Every structure is written in C-alpha cells, then in structure tokens.
C-alpha cells in the first residue's frame, strides 16, 4: 500500500511540474492518480488529485468542472481536518471566481487561503494568493492595493527563491508602471520576467510575459516588435488552451491594430475576442472590447453601431465594476477584523464612491428614458430655486444691485440652456418631439431673440445686426420655442467663434403664394471659419472642430446637432458656407403658413388669486420655500406636504382651491398620490391638480396623465403658473 501511495504522489508531483509546458500531459497524470487513489480509497490522495485537476481545469477555462472538483476536494480535506488542503482547494475556486469576474467571492476565498498559508509559513502559496489578490485589486481600479499585493507576493517568493513566482508578479506590476507612464521601469521588469521564464522553462508564464512586453512596445510605437510578441504569446496560449490568456491577447492585438490605424483588422480581432470571451465568461475582456468597437465605429461616423457598443460597454462595466466592487467592500468586514483589512475596506469604500460617480457621468451618453427623467429632475430642481429666487428678488433690488441680479439671471438661464440642450437632443434622437404651431408676430419675435444675445455680443465688442425682408408677412404659424432654439444655437455659435467684426441675422422671402411664404433664415459671421473637410461631421453630436475650438469657447457640443434635427422636423435642411479666417454662413428655408396677428395678453391682475389656498407637495425644502414665497405674492395661502403620503393625508382633511404636486418624492411619488386623491372620497376629489416638476418625461406617463389638469415645469415659469391657476379658478 505504501508503494502505491508513493507512486500516486510521484504522479501528482510530475503532473504539477509538467503543467508549465504540457498541460494535457498534466491532466492525464492527475486523472491516473485520482483513479488509483479511489481504488485504494486513500482520502488524502483523492483530495490532492481532485485539487490538481481543479487547478488544471481552471487554467483550461473549464470553470464549472474546476469548481465542482475543488468543492469535492474541499469535502475530503474537511473530513481529514487538513487546513492546508482546504486552502489549496479554495485557492483554485478563487481563481475561477475572479477570472469570471466574481471578484467579491474570489477575494473572500483568497483571504481565507492567505490566513492559513501564513499560519504554516507557506511562502510559495502566500506568493500565489497575494499575486491573485493584486489582480483583483487591479481589476476594480484600486492601484495602491494592487501594487502592495504584487510587491508582497515578490517578497514571499524571494524567501524561497521561487523564480517563477517572482516573475509572475513582475508581469502585472510592469503593466501598472506602464499605465502610470513609467515606461523604462515597466520594460525593465518585463525583461526580467521573460529572462526568468525562459530560464525556468515555464512556457505558459512566458506567454503572459511576452504579452506584457507587447503592450509596452505598442505604447512606444514599436509596432513590429509588439506584433511579434503577440503572435508568439497567442501561439503558446492556443497550444496550452489558456482561455483567459487567449481572450486578453486577442483584445490587446486589436488595440495594436487600432493604434496602427488598421481598422478592419482591429474589428476582426475584437469580434474574435468577444466570441471567445463570451464562450468562457470573461466579462472584463468583453466590456473592454465593446468600448474599443464603440470608438472604432464612432471614428467612422457609424452612429448606430457606435451607440450599440457604447450601451453594451456601459451596461457591462456597471455590472462588473460597480456591482462587484460594492460586493467586495460588503464582504471585507465579514472576512476578518484585522486592522489592515479594515483600512483596506475604508479605502475600497472611497474607491467605490469615485467609480460610481464616474459611471454616472459616462452614462449621460445613454439614450434611455430613465436617464432623461433623472437628469431633468435632479439638475433642474436646484436650478428652480436659483432662477425663481433671482426673479423674485429682481422685483425690488437697490439700484446698485441691478447689474448683479441681471448677471445672476443670465448665468442661471445660460446653464439651463445647456442642460436643455442635452435633454432636448435626447428627446429629438428618440423621435419624441413634435412641433406646436401658434400665431407669431415675426418681427417682434426676431427682435426679442436678438436682444437676448446682444449682451453676449457686446461683451466681445461685436456688432449684432438684423435684416428683415420688407415683403415678409406680419404673422405666421410658428413653434416659437423650437424656432428660438434653432436661431439661438446658431447665434450663440456665431458669437462664440467670432473675435471681431459683425454677426447678422437675415430673413428673406424666397417664394410665396396666397397662404404660405417660404422664408430663408441666414446667420452670417466674420469669425474663424470652418475647414471644408469638417463639414460632414459638423452636425454630429458632441462634435467640435479641434482646429478652431479652444477651452474658452466651451459648450455642450450639441448645439448644431439640435439645430439639424429641429430644422429636419420642419421638413427642411440646414446648410453651411465657410472660409477660413473670413467667416461662416448657416442658412435654412422654412415654408410657413400666414395667419392673422394675435397680440399676447398681458399678465392679468395678480389680485385675482387673492384668498385662495394651495396644497404644495414638495420634498425639496428650498424649492418649497421659494414656491410659497412666490404664491404669497399673489395672495395665495400655501400649505406644505413633504412627500406624496403626507399630501394624500392632508387632502383627506380639508378642501383646497389648487394642488401643486411634485413627481419625484419619498414615501409616495406624485403620480400615486394624485391617483389616490382622484379615486378616493375626499374634499379634493375634483380639485385642480397640476404637476409642478423638473422631470420633462412626466407627461409621457400615459397611465397617470389624465389625473392632472396640466404639467408645469421647474424652473418655474412664473407667467405660465399664474395663468394656469387663473384658467381653473
């Protein structure tokens, strides 16, 4: 029996040593050892055989099999109370988890292993566990802890002169130095790693080291050398069936092609990387590949594909980075109460907050309804307070403060315009915008727009002129808001890119009949001009010519994209002519229906709402204070409910003349609160209810829209609010 046990152990030792250059042979030897161990019913050797098979299957990417074998091995070691055996089995399971992006579980298992290896002064396995922990830290963006783990791994390996383990940690440490711009240090480390791998005969490890050097060569522009390293490494990984290595190499090979502007080959390589990584559940490679495909298609102006891959990237990155990082943090305190790990937990919490904010910022590109709702509510809500307070105070400032209030209103309105650009573009892109025609006196309307931008032009000492054809009709049916956006964006751009000279808005009648006129609107400037080769990209979203754009000009990069879509909504097209250093002309033609002039009604007497009452449902205390102050100017008594639930309770107790209902509130939102007030017996069953909300998507909630008498926007449009209340008085 002793001879048989000795032979089994010899098979296992040979299998472990052979893994670095012939993984298939290692599997054969370990399977043979397991078979004999079962025949003699030696639980210790069965556990060791299962453990090695778990390791080899992890390397081959057979992750389900690896976990199954690892758990079976653990059960044997637990029976034997073999802590070292349990740690070895958990190490293999941890490897599967972090390679399939379950970082939190990987870290839990690795820290369990590390505590056992330290107990037994097992420096070899301490080095392996620390290197794997460094990989997890690096994946979740915690560079400081990653470097510390890799350096600790090297120190543990040096204590037993384990050259392979030292070089294993050199590889990722070199990658971190590369990312931080320390190229010489990165190259020095990776060259050491390659030398050690060549000396030890670790073929698989050599492939990872060659991959690391290829990344450095890509960064330094040594493309031929990089490609040679990638080809050699990919050949080794393919022979050894190292699935993680294959996925990483295919992606990095695509990065090389992208850097070399070999776009077609980059796409092919990325699609290979995606197919491979989807098969083996390597999410990290998947979302990085999706991001590079987004960049490739964006560079080709392929909007559909670029958006498709951007959305995939954002969705996957949120799942992989944010979710996993938070799970890692949640598990830290359960793992150990050691002071060092508690410090790590605090660091990780701070990192998670940074990552979460970063993810939110990136997701502003996603064309999603929930984003539109959140964006409009969260940003327009505080702006409501700023703009409304400025409007209230401007009625009674000291003479010396007039300029300050004018500047405050101008700045806050300008910020609102930028936010509206983003939201409007989102709605336009989703096809959710319609024209709303009303009679409009054209000349006063054009002069009003000019007056809005005159201060901006005056600040740059630029002449802002208007020229109207004497043949144009007095009034046309027009969507004033959309038209103001078109002309406002064009005038704003003209002022932005003009340093001296003049800007002119000209309206000319080009065609006419009894009922319609065709008018050409043209905005010309004497600015820097636009290169002709940029014309095709000019109306793309977030697009600004680098050759003529500086930081002082700023902007959202959406103005011309919005102009293009709004003009197209009028069944027309916007055109441009431009010469460098001479200026540009943007023009478009609109066919407008003539109509009779309808003078605007002046704001009615504020006293008409005296002695009325309002239930104001608003969770933001500042906005509630501002709204109550505004209502009190009209003689309205306002009672405040801090959430939807409180609003329903107050509506059950006494009648009100009006209810102003915010939508996004805690406890109960404005939709559900209004539904309950309408559908239950109470004194306000038929009271006029207006949604007063910063959420510009609120009117699209078909299930609730009929419960409201109207939807009013935040920031509050004072005249519209006053008129709405008068109309239902």
pLDDT by residue (tens digit) across 538-560?
776 544 554 444 434 444 456 78
What does the alpha-carbon distance between residue 293 and residue 307 come to, in Å, rounded to a whole number?
A: 10
Examine the fold and report which residue of 593, 617, 633 is the final residue of a domain before the chain moves on.
Answer: 593
**198 assigned to some structural domain:** no
Peptide bond into 715 cis (omega under 30): yes
Give SS3 for 580: coil
pLDDT of residue 584: 93
State how far the alpha carbon of 543 is from the alpha carbons of 15, 112, 189, 538, 569, in Å: 58, 51, 41, 7, 21
Examine the fold and report which residue of 593, 615, 631 is the final residue of a domain before the chain moves on.
Answer: 593
What does the alpha-carbon distance between residue 476 and residue 122 come to, in Å, rounded to a whole number?
A: 86
Same domain (yes/no): 585, 461: yes
- Helix 203-219 and helix 163-179, axial crossing angle in degrees, nearest 10: 20
What does the alpha-carbon distance between residue 634 and residue 611 come to, in Å, rounded to a whole number?
A: 9
What does the alpha-carbon distance between residue 411 and residue 455 come to, in Å, rounded to a whole number?
A: 12
CB atoms within 10 A of CB 218: 24
Q: What is the mean pLDDT of the chain?
A: 80
What does the alpha-carbon distance between residue 484 and residue 448 come to, in Å, rounded to a whole number?
A: 10
**442 assigned to some structural domain:** yes
**716 assigned to some structural domain:** yes
Same domain (yes/no): 507, 578: yes
pLDDT of residue 197: 86
CB atoms within 10 A of CB 182: 14
201 sits in the region (left: phi over 0; alpha: psi -120 to 50; else beta) called: left
**84 assigned to some structural domain:** no
**521 assigned to some structural domain:** yes
Judge whether 703 and 393 are in contact, CB under 8 Å: no
Give the list of residues 6+ apart from residue 457 with CB closer than 8 angstroms, or none: 463, 464, 495, 503
Domain that holds residue 647: 606-727
Between 380 and 393, name the one with better pLDDT: 393
Please, where are the H alpha helices in 474-573? 480-496, 559-569
Tokens of 515: 């009922």
pLDDT of residue 549: 42
pLDDT of residue 349: 58
Element (H, E) at 382: helix 369-393
Same domain (yes/no): 568, 665: no
| 541-578 b/e (C-beta count within 10 Å ≥ 16 → b) | beebeeeebeeeeeebbbbbbbbbbbbebbeeebebeb
Same domain (yes/no): 610, 589: no
Same domain (yes/no): 490, 528: yes
Examine the fold and report which residue of 531, 560, 593 is the final residue of a domain before the chain moves on.
Answer: 593
Mean pLDDT, residues 151-159: 92
Same domain (yes/no): 450, 589: yes
**548 assigned to some structural domain:** yes
Residue with tokens 């089994």: 8
Same domain (yes/no): 572, 658: no
Judge whether 693 and 713 are in contact, CB under 8 Å: yes
Give SS3 for 167: helix
Question: Domain holding 584: CATH number?
Answer: 3.30.565.10
| Segment 458-513, tens digit of pLDDT | 888 999 999 999 999 999 999 887 888 899 889 988 998 898 999 999 999 999 99
pTM of the full predicted structure?
0.42
Same domain (yes/no): 569, 641: no
Element (H, E) at 583: strand 583-593
Mean pLDDT, residues 146-175: 90
What does the alpha-carbon distance between residue 381 and residue 662 come to, in Å, rounded to a whole number?
A: 10
- Phi–psi pair at 582, nearest 5 degrees: -120, -30
């Amino acid at each position: 029996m002793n001879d048989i046990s000795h032979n089994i152990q010899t098979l296992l030792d040979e299998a472990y040593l052979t893994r670095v250059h012939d993984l298939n042979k290692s599997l054969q030897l370990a399977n043979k050892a397991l078979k004999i161990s079962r025949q003699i019913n030696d639980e210790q050797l069965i556990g060791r055989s299962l453990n090695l098979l778990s390791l080899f299957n992890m390397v081959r990417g057979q992750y389900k099999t690896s976990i199954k074998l690892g758990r079976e091995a653990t059960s044997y070691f637990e029976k034997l109370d073999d802590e070292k055996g349990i740690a070895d089995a958990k190490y293999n399971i941890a490897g599967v988890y972090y390679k399939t992006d379950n970082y939190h579980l990987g870290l839990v298992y690795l820290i369990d292993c590390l505590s056992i290896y330290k107990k037994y002064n097992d420096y070899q396995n301490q080095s392996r566990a620390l290197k794997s922990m460094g990989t997890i830290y690096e994946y979740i963006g915690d560079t400081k802890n990653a470097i510390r783990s890799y350096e600790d791994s090297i120190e543990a390996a040096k204590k037993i002169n384990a050259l392979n383990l030292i070089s294993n940690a050199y590889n990722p440490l070199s990658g971190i130095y590369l990312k931080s711009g320390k190229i010489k240090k990165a190259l020095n480390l990776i060259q050491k790693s390659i030398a050690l791998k060549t000396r030890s005969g670790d073929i698989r490890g050599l492939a990872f080291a060659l991959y690391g050097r290829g990344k450095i060569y890509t960064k330094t522009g040594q493309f031929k050398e990089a490609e040679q390293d990638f080809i050699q490494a990919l050949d080794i990984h393919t022979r050894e069936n190292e699935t993680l290595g294959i996925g990483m190499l295919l992606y990095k090979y695509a990065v090389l092609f992208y850097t070399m502007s070999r776009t077609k080959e980059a796409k092919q390589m990325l699609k290979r990387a995606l197919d491979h990584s989807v098969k083996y559940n390597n999410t990290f490679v998947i979302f990085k590949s999706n991001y590079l495909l987004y960049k490739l298609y964006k560079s080709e102006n392929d909007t559909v594909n670029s958006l498709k891959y951007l959305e995939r990237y954002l969705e996957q990155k949120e799942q992989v980075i944010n979710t996993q990082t938070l799970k890692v943090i949640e598990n830290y305190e359960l793992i150990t109460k050691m002071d060092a790990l508690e410090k790590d937990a605090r660091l990780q919490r701070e990192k998670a907050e940074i990552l979460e904010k970063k993810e939110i910022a990136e997701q502003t590109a996603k064309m999603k309804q929930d984003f539109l709702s959140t964006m409009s509510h969260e940003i327009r809500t505080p702006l409501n307070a700023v703009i409304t307070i400025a409007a209230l105070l401007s009625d009674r400032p000291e003479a010396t403060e007039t300029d300050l209030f004018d500047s405050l209103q101008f700045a806050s309105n300008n910020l609102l315009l930028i936010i509206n650009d983003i939201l409007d573009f989102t709605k336009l892109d989703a096809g959710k915008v319609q024209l709303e025609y009303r009679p409009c006196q054209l000349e006063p309307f054009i002069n009003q727009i000019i007056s809005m931008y005159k201060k901006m032009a005056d600040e740059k000492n630029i002449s802002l002129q208007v020229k109207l054809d004497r043949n144009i009709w007095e009034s046309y049916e027009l969507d004033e808001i959309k038209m103001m956006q078109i002309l406002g964006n064009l005038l704003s751009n003209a002022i932005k890119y003009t340093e001296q000279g003049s800007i002119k808005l000209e309206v000319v009648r080009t065609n006419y009949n009894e009922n319609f006129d065709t008018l050409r609107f043209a905005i010309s400037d004497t600015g820097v001009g636009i290169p002709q080769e940029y014309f095709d990209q000019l109306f793309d979203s977030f697009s600004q010519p680098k050759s003529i754009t500086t930081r002082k000009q700023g902007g959202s990069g959406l103005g011309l994209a919005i102009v293009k879509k709004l003009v197209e909504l009028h069944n027309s097209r916007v055109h441009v002519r431009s010469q460098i250093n001479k200026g540009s002309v943007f023009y478009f033609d609109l066919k407008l229906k003539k109509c009779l002039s309808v003078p605007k009604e002046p704001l009615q007497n504020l006293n008409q709402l005296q002695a009325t009452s309002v239930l104001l449902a608003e969770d933001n205390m500042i906005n509630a204070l501002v709204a109550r102050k505004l209502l009190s100017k009209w003689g309205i008594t306002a009672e405040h409910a801090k959430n939807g639930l409180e609003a329903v309770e107050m509506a059950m107790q006494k009648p009100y003349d009006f209810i102003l209902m915010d939508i996004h509130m805690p406890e109960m939102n404005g939709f559900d609160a209004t539904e309950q007030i309408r559908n239950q017996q109470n004194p306000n069953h038929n009271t006029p209810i207006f949604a007063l909300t910063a959420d510009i998507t609120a009117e699209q909630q078909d299930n609730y829209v009929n419960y409201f008498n109207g939807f009013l926007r935040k920031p509050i449009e004072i005249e519209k609010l006053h008129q709405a209340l008068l109309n239902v008085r």
